[in-house]
Amino acid sequence: MTQHRGVFWMLLLSLAINLLIIGGFTGLVIAKKQMPPPPSLVQNGSGPPPAAASQSFDGRRFFRALPASEKRRARSVMASHQQEHRQQVARVRKAKRQVNQLLKSNTLDVETVKVALHELRQAEAAESGFGQMIVLEILKDMDAEARIQVIQKMNRPAAKRQPRPNR
């Protein structure tokens, strides 16, 4: 043991340093999960508002909230508008590609980018309006009680998923 005393202390020091590094990373991960977004992001408008999830309309949550009988009818309504929806989605994709191309170009023409962004906003608004029209078509034939239940179920806070265990 006396011959390898230096190696022993180097291994012990290495182990201590590694444990400190692992502990630091673990602490950062835990702290990041528990911290709310910085107030500066919420106040200056660059981040999402605190209740953004409850203010926006989510088509997926609407469809999940429908009773089984209404889901069948909703599928048929959506299938009848499938071609129009594809056109709307293609328009949005094309507008996004155009904006990305303009932003990646060597020279940045601000006016052209503004026009492309305006076209993107119009395409996204048209797609959103189309989706809302489909939702109204589904809702118009429902009785008031069923419609109210669907909206209440849709607006319930989503259950938080349990984190996956590390393997």
pLDDT, residue 1, reads 56
Residues with Cβ within 8 Å of residue 31, at least 6 apart in sequence:
none
Residue among 165, 167, 78 at smallest CA distance from 130: 78
pLDDT, residue 121, reads 94
Query: Hey, which of 1-10, 15-24, 48-57 has the most confident mean pLDDT?
Result: 15-24
Q: Domain boundaries in the chain?
A: 1-35, 66-155
| 77-131 residue pLDDT tens | 889 999 999 999 999 999 999 999 999 988 888 899 999 999 999 999 998 889 8
* 125 close to 79: Cβ distance less than 8 angstroms: no
| 10-34 residue pLDDT tens | 898 999 999 989 998 888 888 877 7
CATH class for the region spanning 66-155: mainly alpha
Between residues 49 and 136, which one has the greater pLDDT? Answer: 136
d(CA 64, CA 76): 15
Residue 43 pLDDT > 80: no
Task: Please calculate the CA angle 115-119-123 and round it to the nearest 5 degrees.
Answer: 170
Pull the structure tokens for residue 90: 């293609």
**Count of H helices and E strands in the chain?**
8, 0
